[in-house]
Amino acid sequence: MFIDEVRILVKAGDGGNGCMAFRREKYVPRGGPSGGDGGRGGDVVLVASEHQNTLLQFRFNPEHKAERGRHGEGSNRTGAEGRSIEVQVPVGTVVYDESTGERLHDFTAPGERFLVARGGKGGRGNARFATSTHQAPTEHEPGRPGEEKHLRLELKLLADVALVGFPNAGKSTLISRISAARPKIADYPFTTLEPHLGVVQMENYRSFVVADIPGLIEGAHRGAGLGIQFLRHIERTRLLAHLVDVSDATGRDPVEDFETVMRELESFSPLLVEKPMIVVATKLDAAQNAARVDSLRRLAAGRGLAFFEISSATGQGIEALKFAMAERVLPPAGA
C-alpha cells in the first residue's frame, strides 16, 4: 500500500527534576546542600532513509516519544539524560507543523537529519542555590517540558521524469519496457492506483528515475478520479513526458486529451506547465487513422515541444524516447 500523507505526534522527553538534599555524613560537619540537577530529556530526530518509500508505517504508529531525563539525586548526582529517538522517513518527505501550516523541513537526500522536537532542560538541584549568605537552600527546580508537536508528513517522490496522461495512455507499459519496474497493466481505466518508480539504465553506468503517475482526468485538481493526491509527485520532477493515446479505440480526440491534462496540471500549480515537457504519441501499432497522429504532432510543434511516436507493444520508438529523456535530465557523459 502506498501512503503519501500522514499526521503524527512527536514528543521530546521532559527534563528531570532537580533534587533537594543535604549531606549528613558522620565526618562531614559542614555537609550543606547536595541535591543534584535533573537530566536533560531526549530529542526526536527525523532521518531521511532511502530504504523507505512510503509513509505506511506511520498509519500504525502515529506517536513517537523520546525518553524523559532522570531526576537529580543526593550527593550532587545529576540525573541521566533521556534517550533520543530517530524516526526514519522516506527521502522526499516534507514536514509541516499541523497547527500553523508552516513547512519545517524538506528531505531531499539520504541520511539528512532534522531535529524536530528538542528535549526539556533538567531542573537545578538545591546545591546550585547555595551562596555565602544562603547556606541551606531548599529551592530546587522542576524539569522543563520537552517540545510536543503535531506534524503532517507529505511524501513527494524524487524522480527525474514523470509520465503523465489520461488513464490507459500507456504509462505503465512504457515504464515496464524501459526499466525493471513491473506495475500492474490492464485494459481498464485507473489500473494504476499508486505511483511507481523505475530506474532507467544508460551507458557508462548512468541512470535516471522515471515515475508513473496515475491517470488524470478532467476535474482531477478538484478530486475527480484519483484527484489531486498524486499531482504533488510531479512537482519535483525535471521533465514531464506527456503520453497521449492515438489509437482508434479511445474514441476521443488526442488533442483534446492533451489540453485536458494540461488544464488540470495548471489548475493544481501553474509551475507544472512551465516544466520542460515532451509529447509522446502512444499505441502507434493500433493507430489506423494517421490524422490523429498528425493533429497531435502539429499541436506539439505549435507549442515548441519535442514529439515522439512509440509503440510499447512492438518496441517502435522506445530507444529514441529513452535517449531523449536521458539527454534532458542527465549531465553530458564525462561531466
- pLDDT at residue 95 tops 80: yes
Mean pLDDT across the stretch 19-45?
88
Mean pLDDT across the stretch 43-68?
91
Mean pLDDT across the stretch 252-275?
88
What percentage of the chain has pLDDT greater than the value 70? Answer: 89
- The C-alpha cell at 161 is 521524469
State residue 196's pLDDT score: 77
Per-residue pLDDT band for 7 (boundaries 50, 70, 90) equals very high
Interval 181-238: pLDDT, tens: 564 444 434 444 467 778 888 877 688 888 888 766 554 444 444 445 667 778 888 8
- pLDDT at residue 270 tops 50: yes
Per-residue pLDDT band for 243 (boundaries 50, 70, 90) equals very high
Alpha-carbon span 240 to 275, nearest angstrom: 7
DSSP calls for 68-126: PPPPPBTTTBPPPPPPPEEEEEETTEEEEETTT--EEEE--STT-EEEEEPPPPPPPPG
Interval 292-334: pLDDT, tens: 999 999 999 999 999 999 998 888 999 999 999 999 988 776 5
Largest CA distance in the chain: 106
State residue 123's pLDDT score: 96
Q: Residues of 291-302 as b/e, b for ≥16 C-beta within 10 angstroms? A: ebbebbbebbee
Tell me the β-bridge partners of 150.
9
As to burial, measured by CB atoms within 10 angstroms (0-12 exposed, 13-18 middle, 19+ buried), residue 254 is buried
pTM: 0.71
State residue 216's pLDDT score: 65
Task: Delineate the domains of the chain, giving CATH numbers in brackets.
Answer: 5-155 (2.70.210.12), 161-329 (3.40.50.300)
Spatial neighbors of 181 by CB under 8 A, at least 6 apart, are: 175, 196, 197, 198, 199, 210, 212
Q: Which range among 10-24, 173-187, 277-291 shows the weakest confidence by mean pLDDT?
A: 173-187
